[in-house]
Every structure is written in C-alpha cells, then in structure tokens.
Amino acid sequence: MRNFIGLIHKEPESDYGVSFPDFPGVVTAGETLDEARAMAEEALAFHVEGLLDDGEEIPEPSNLEKVMAEPGNRDGVAILVMLKTQSPKAVRINITLPEDVLQTIDAFAEANGLSRSGFLARAAMHEIDRSNAA
C-alpha cells in the first residue's frame, strides 16, 4: 500500500480540513484530528477507486520536500495518508439487484459525488468493518 501526503488545515471555528496535493480538488474534513485522518483515508480510497473505474492512472506520491516547497501548502500540517485499496486494478463484475434498489443506490451515489461502483464498494467495506468490530 502506498502513502500520500495529506495537508491538515484548521481555521478558527471550523473543522479540521484535509487536502491532497497529488489529487487537486479532493478534500474532506472532521470535527477532530482523529476523525479528519479517518475521513482522509476514506476520501483518498474512494477517489482512487473512481479513477480506476474510469481507467485513469494513479500518480506516484509526491515527496514531502516538493509538497512543502509550494507556498500554498506551507500553512498546512503534513500527514501520511495510507491508500487502502485491495487491488490496484478494478475488476468488472455482474450483479443482479431489484430495479428499485438500483435506482435508490444511483440516486444516493449521485447526490454524494460517488460512482455506483464507489458506493457499492463503500457500503460493502462499511458492513465488513462493522462485522469485524463486533
């Protein structure tokens, strides 16, 4: 598994925000530092899954010196965020779902900026994590 640099930002009266220099536009936040770190791992994994679904390549992680040399990054605190993916390659599968369930999945995924595959992967991992925690 690879690690990417996340930058934590905190403004007064706001949550802890996390951005990724290697993935412009990917941001997340958490009320606490622990929550922000967990959300960063999740956001990174789902973004990369979407890139893989679209057949795009994943960039190599930047090094810390290069990231912190950028003036816009200097106000953030750098953390390493582990890219948690089971496989670097997406695998196409065929599943059968009731039409109304599929419509509900698609509506939820679209409203939350996810692909159908990203949502199903997220839901599956949520259930697996919940079962393992019990």
Same domain, 83 and 124: no
Residue 132 belongs to domain with CATH number? 1.10.1220
Same domain, 73 and 99: no
Q: How far is CA 128 from the centre of its chain?
A: 17
Among the listed residues 86, 8, 83, the one whose alpha carbon sits nearest the alpha carbon of residue 47: 83
Same domain, 132 and 69: no
Residue 26 belongs to domain with CATH number? 3.30.160.250
- What domain range is 20 assigned to? 1-88
Q: How many domains does the chain have?
A: 2
Q: What is the pLDDT of residues 101-112, one digit of tens each?
A: 999 999 998 887
| Lowest model confidence (mean pLDDT) among 14-23, 25-34, 84-93 | 84-93
Tell me the mean pLDDT in the region 39-62.
88
Same domain, 107 and 51: no
Mean predicted lDDT score pLDDT of the chain? 89
